[in-house]
Structure 1
Amino acid sequence: MKKPVFKNIFKFTLAAGLFSGILFTAAVPTAGNKTKIVSLAENKLGARMALFSQLKLDSLGLSKDAYAYALAGLEKLEKEGKLANPDLLTIADFSLPSSKKRLFVIDLKKGEVLFNTLVSHGRNSGTAVATNFSNTPESFKSSLGFYVTGQTYKGEHGYSLRLAGEEQGINDNAMSRGIVMHSAKYVSEQIAKLQGYIGRSLGCPAIPEQVHRQIIEAIKDGTCLFLYSPDKSYMANSKMLMPTDTTIV
């Protein structure tokens, strides 16, 4: 007997190039060929989206746009088999200034924010706020988009994490550029209070020394990292943000 096919429909409302809302529903066939609309809580993506309110992520400063886009990209990476752990999502929200705790590590299965801390952007991406991005070697700019975390190693900055950029022409030079997650003394609340912004990297998402090992251990080996900004060029060129229909058998 052929199994019923369910379609998740993602309805994206775009305004001025920015994401303004997302609706998840599922059309489920029932007896008599009638269709039942399944609520958010009854499908995985809907449940994940509902965590934004449940975890009060807006009160922590995370953009709802960043979170919704992150879920869309996470789903694509998961479908492509690129994630060893699709229940863990890390977002660096570069729409926020660097003085804010704009790195969020979220366990989607347990419904917990594991970490919320500072994270740097590249020195040529901007001072307090990152506004310029590049995939070019030696640009010393951050590259937006989706990454899959790799293996750990000990390098110039100690315990570090390799990052594989998944977006062609946007961040796919990450490995050759040496874009990794590492700790840095200049990523601290004290420096933020002193000068209004933290130090900047050569393009790496550097994190505080006090928590870097815990974060890297949590997100290493095949989880999704999303560096977000409402940058017009990124929004226009990223294929990871496009709405899709997902067939679940």
Structure 2
Amino acid sequence: MENQSVVRRQRLKRRARRMARRVLPFVASLFLATPLAAPMRTKAAPTMGAELRLPTAAVTKTVLFDQRLHDLYRDLQVEAQGLRFEVFEKAMTGYLNLEKSGKLGEKQLLTVVDFGLPSTEKRLWVLDLEAKQVKFHTLVAHGHNSGENMATNFSNENESNMSSLGFYVTEGEYIGKHGRSLKLQGLDEGYNTNALLRSVVMHGAEYVSEDFIRQNGRLGRSLGCPALPMDQKDAIIEAVGGQTCLFLNGPDESYSSKYLNQDVAMSTLLDRDNQMI
């Protein structure tokens, strides 16, 4: 489950950093001190009684994966926009798992919604992972019964009027009571798999605006849909429609997902790197 995987990965990260601090200076000194044509020595000089241990393959993969995610996070420049790295890391892990399972289309887009932030903040990002650009950063509403300004309660139940956390894949468009809307298929059993039954979709709403915030101190709330500003909903729906990944994050420690498999995410990303060589 997620908690076990995260703890394991954090442990590997700490171990890798300790290894790197010990090993990298030693390796660098070898390159500086040894001519390229000189034979490798079979024994190294004693290092104050400390045994030199090289990183394991698992530690190396973890370090590479962590570095790649931090590089992408930096290139997207989303930290200044309020997207926390731990949320981005979850979203990317799920995206890579979904890519590996063949559930995503050709668009390399990732939509992240962080319900850990108040509704008065722009907490939706549409990330173009290929171009390393933020296509949209805007407001988004949560469900009426999930909370006032902060979303604290989540449900997969029909007529709960709450938001549902987890990973989704976007489906087709339709015209409904809110006009142009986008169907969402929930993939996390027990958390959002009733999305289609509940008609949890992306749509525009007048209550998702800066004016509404100024008048009410928060956004309006939906019946569970990630509702968008009216002046941006068409462009966002157009961009993310057709089997792209949507991740709804929130302050629920019980949330877990099979798509938060770090090993699958690491192998997917490293395989992609190898194909580009």
Are 1:154 and 2:175 an aligned pair?
yes
Are 1:143 and 2:159 an aligned pair?
no
Q: 2:127 aligns with which of 106, 109, 119?
A: 106
Q: Could you tell me how far apart the structure 2 residues matched to 1:231 and 1:38 are?
A: 29
Are 1:90 and 2:111 an aligned pair?
yes
Aligned-residue offset at 1:54: 2.2
Is the contact made by 2:169 and 2:187 (CA closer than 8 Å) also made in structure 1?
yes
Identical positions, percent: 45
Partner of 1:31: none
Q: Per-residue CA shift, 1:160-214, capped at 9, x if unaligned?
A: 0000001111100000000000000000011112222100000000000001000
Q: 2:10 aligns with which of 3, 6, 13?
A: 13
Q: Could you tell me how far apart the structure 2 residues matched to 1:68 and 1:39 are?
A: 13
Aligned-residue offset at 1:39: 10
Is the contact made by 1:163 and 1:181 (CA closer than 8 Å) also made in structure 2?
yes
Partner of 1:177: 198
- The structure-2 alpha-carbon separation of the partners of 1:157 and 1:135, relative to structure 1 and needing over 3 Å to count, comes to same
Partner of 2:237: 216
- Aligned with 1:124: secondary structure? helix
Are 1:244 and 2:241 an aligned pair?
no
- Aligned with 1:71: secondary structure? helix
Is the contact made by 1:88 and 1:224 (CA closer than 8 Å) also made in structure 2?
yes
Aligned-residue offset at 1:100: 0.4
Is the contact made by 1:66 and 1:229 (CA closer than 8 Å) also made in structure 2?
no
Aligned residues: 221
Q: Could you tell me how far apart the structure 2 residues matched to 1:134 and 1:38 are?
A: 36
Q: Could you tell me how far apart the structure 1 residues matched to 2:175 and 2:68 are?
A: 38
Structure (1/2) with the larger helix percentage = 2
Aligned-residue offset at 1:238: 2.4
**Matched AA of 2:258:** K
- The structure-2 alpha-carbon separation of the partners of 1:80 and 1:192, relative to structure 1 and needing over 3 Å to count, comes to same
Are 1:193 and 2:214 an aligned pair?
yes
**Aligned positions of 1:62-73 closer than 5 A:** 62-73=83-94
Runs of 5+ consecutive residues of structure 2 not aligned to the other structure: 1-6, 17-54
Aligned-residue offset at 1:139: 0.2
Partner of 2:154: 133
Structure (1/2) with the larger strand percentage = 1
Is the contact made by 1:86 and 1:224 (CA closer than 8 Å) also made in structure 2?
no
Give the root-mean-square deviation of aligned CA atoms.
2.7
**Aligned positions of 1:44-55 closer than 5 A:** 46-55=67-76
Runs of 4+ in 1 over 6 A off after TM superposition: none
Q: Could you tell me how far apart the structure 2 residues matched to 1:160 and 1:77 are?
A: 23
Partner of 1:165: 186
Q: Per-residue CA shift, 1:199-244, capped at 9, x if unaligned?
A: 000000000000100000000010000000131111xx32222422
Q: Could you tell me how far apart the structure 2 residues matched to 1:11 and 1:109 are?
A: 29
Partner of 1:75: 96
Partner of 1:121: 142
Mark the structure with the bigger radius of gyration: 2
Is the contact made by 1:11 and 1:243 (CA closer than 8 Å) also made in structure 2?
no
- Aligned with 1:13: secondary structure? helix
- Aligned with 1:12: secondary structure? helix
* TM-score (normalised: structure 2): 0.73
- The structure-2 alpha-carbon separation of the partners of 1:53 and 1:157, relative to structure 1 and needing over 3 Å to count, comes to same
Aligned-residue offset at 1:48: 4.7
* TM-score (normalised: structure 1): 0.81
